[in-house]
Amino acid sequence: MKRVCVFCGSSPGRTPEYIDAAVNLGRAMAARGIGLVYGGASVGLMGAIADAVLQAGGDVVGVIPESLVKYEVAHRGLPDLRVVRSMHERKAAMADLADGFIAMPGALGTLDEFFEVLTWSQLGEHTKPCGLLNVGGYYTQMLAFLDHAVDERFLRSQHRGMLLVETEPIAMLDRLAAYRPPKIEKWIDRSAT
């Protein structure tokens, strides 16, 4: 893996545990020679992971829509900051630049970006690994919902299994490196519709 895209919050969160995880993930990526692709902001977890990768001598590519540059949240210390016209362009660019994806704690934007690339994987549009870094149990309730979707036959267990979940950055990077995508059809009970 040359680059991993990390989706995460533009806020630091309630506890220092979230910032610590972002810094630790950034350092671990740089130590392995894995570049960071992310949303290009200087604030919150986004700024923390970018700064950690840069301070450890790693490569960072930020992709930010021009509407957010106007709010002065763009990270001006990046050697490679790409300004795009829209959120749609941002997601496409980040997906093209990355060899895998990690979602850290965040909110609507993080979930939107992450579930889009996970859906693309489910549909076979790419075979890149998608991991969820469940810092401090942040995503535990969402993971329970996905298990419920499997129980209710809206999601195949194999597709649920495509979502790699770890609580520690090193373990997550190991899982991404070892990932092999399943080869299955998306639909459950297709003939029943």
Mean pLDDT of 158-175: 96
Helix, strand or coil for residue 18? helix
Say what the pTM is. 0.94
At 119-153, the pLDDT tens digits run 999 988 999 999 999 999 999 999 999 999 999 99
Q: Which of 65, 37, 48, 36 is nearest to 9 (CA)?
A: 48
Can you give the pLDDT at residue 70? Answer: 80
Q: What is the largest CA-CA distance in the chain?
A: 55
How would you list the strands of the sheet with 35-38, edge to edge? 80-84, 60-65, 35-38, 3-7, 101-103, 130-133, 163-166
Structure tokens at 179: 């990932």
How sure is the predictor about 71, in pLDDT bands with cuts at 50, 70 and 90? Answer: confident
How sure is the predictor about 184, in pLDDT bands with cuts at 50, 70 and 90? Answer: confident
At 13-65, the pLDDT tens digits run 999 999 999 999 999 999 999 999 999 999 999 999 999 999 999 999 999 99
Helix, strand or coil for residue 103? strand
Structure tokens at 2: 């040359």
